[in-house]
Copies of this chain bind each other. A is one copy, B any other.
Amino acid sequence: MALSPVTPDRISLNTATLREQWSLADCIDGCQRHGFGGIAPWRDKLQEMGVDRAARAIRAAGLSVSGLCRGGWFTEEGALTPAVIDDNIRAVDEAAEIGAACLVMVVGGLPKGSRDIGLAHGLVEEGLARTLEHARSVGMPVAIEPLHPMYAADRACVNTMRHALDICDRLGPGIGVACDVYHVWWDPDLAEQIERTGTERMLAFHVCDWLVPTRDMLTDRGMMGDGVIDIPAIRAQVESVGFSGLTEVEIFSALDWWKRDPDEVMQIIIERCAKVV
C-alpha cells in the first residue's frame, strides 16, 4: 500500500508540543493559521481556557479534536477513591463537550510506596471499567495509551499494545488504544498487535521521534525525522487496519522545541509530516 503524504489538513497539534509557548487559544489560532486539520488539548490548557469557550473556539476554527489528554492516573491514591473516579468522569464529559475522537488514558504507575505492579494493574483495569461505563453512556471512546516501559513506575503501568489490548478484550466495546510511535517502536510484537487492534479499537496515532542519545526520560523527545523511529512503517501498519484519523504530533521537548518560536515549530511539523511521517 502506498502511503499518502500527511498534508496539513491531516495533522493534529497536541498542545503539549507547544505547551511552554502557547495557550490553548493560541494553539487554536495557530492550527487555523497553518491549516492544520485538528488539535488535541491537554486538560490543564483546556481548563485554563474554559471548556465551553474552548469548544466554541475549536468549532469556529473548523478543527477536529483527535483526542483529549488525559484521563487515567488511577493508581495515584493507591485506591479508586471518589476523587479519582470523579476526575475521570469529568474528563469524559470534557472530551464529549469539545467533540474529541477519544479520551486518551495515561493509566498511572505504581502507587506511592508500593512495589506491587499486580496491584497497579488491577487498579487500572477496574478504573478503566468504571470510566468506561460513563463513557459508553455518552458515546465517548476511551483510548488506553501504552507508555514506554521506562514510565512503568511513575506514569503508566500499561506499557505494550499487547497488554492494552488484553484489557480491551476483557472490557468489551467502547475502549481501544492510542498508538504513539515513541512508546511502542521498539516492540518486536508491534505489527502483530496493530493488526490485532483493528479499525474499531485504533483510536489515535501519535508521532514524534526517539533521539539517540535521549538526555531526559520525559522531556527529550524528538521532531519526526531527527531520531531512529521508522515512522512511515508504523503509519502504514496503523492505516492498513483502517485507521483514518489525523496524525497527532506530540513532542515533549524542554531542551529544544519548547524553546523555539512556535510558528517556526508549526512550519517544521508541516515539512516533516510531508517528508518523513
Contacts and interface: CB of A to CB of B under 8 A. Distances in A.
Interface of A: 110, 114-117, 121, 148-150, 152-154, 157, 159-160, 162-163, 166, 185-189, 210, 212-214, 217, 227-230
A149 B217 contact: no
A110 B228 contact: yes
Copies of the polypeptide in the assembly: 2
Contacts of A149: 148-150, 186-187
Given A117-B185, A148-B150, 15 more contacts: A115-B229, A115-B230, A117-B186, A121-B188, A149-B186, A150-B150, A150-B214, A150-B217, A152-B185, A152-B186, A153-B212, A159-B187, A160-B188, A163-B189, A214-B217
A177 to B, nearest CB: 15
A192 to B, nearest CB: 12
Contact of A186 (B157, B212, B230): B157
Q: Which of A115, A116, A187, A230 has the most CB of B within 10 A?
A: A115
Contact of A163 (B117, B121, B188, B213): B188
17 contacts: A114-B228, A149-B150, A150-B214, A150-B217, A152-B186, A153-B186, A153-B227, A153-B228, A154-B212, A154-B213, A157-B186, A159-B186, A159-B187, A160-B188, A163-B188, A214-B217, A217-B217
Contacts of A186: 117, 149, 152-153, 157, 159
A228 B115 contact: yes
A162 to B, nearest CB: 7
A210 B101 CA distance: 36
A222 to B, nearest CB: 11
Contact of A117 (B153, B212, B213, B230): B230
List the 10 shortest-distance A-B pairs measured between CB atoms, nearest first.
Answer: A152-B186, A115-B230, A150-B150, A149-B186, A149-B149, A153-B212, A153-B228, A163-B188, A154-B212, A115-B228
A121 B191 CA distance: 14
Contacts of A213: 154, 217
Nearest to A214: B217
A189 B152 CA distance: 14
A121 B186 CA distance: 11
A176 to B, nearest CB: 18
Contacts of A159: 186-188
A157, A188, A230 interface centre (most CB from chain B within 10 Å): A188
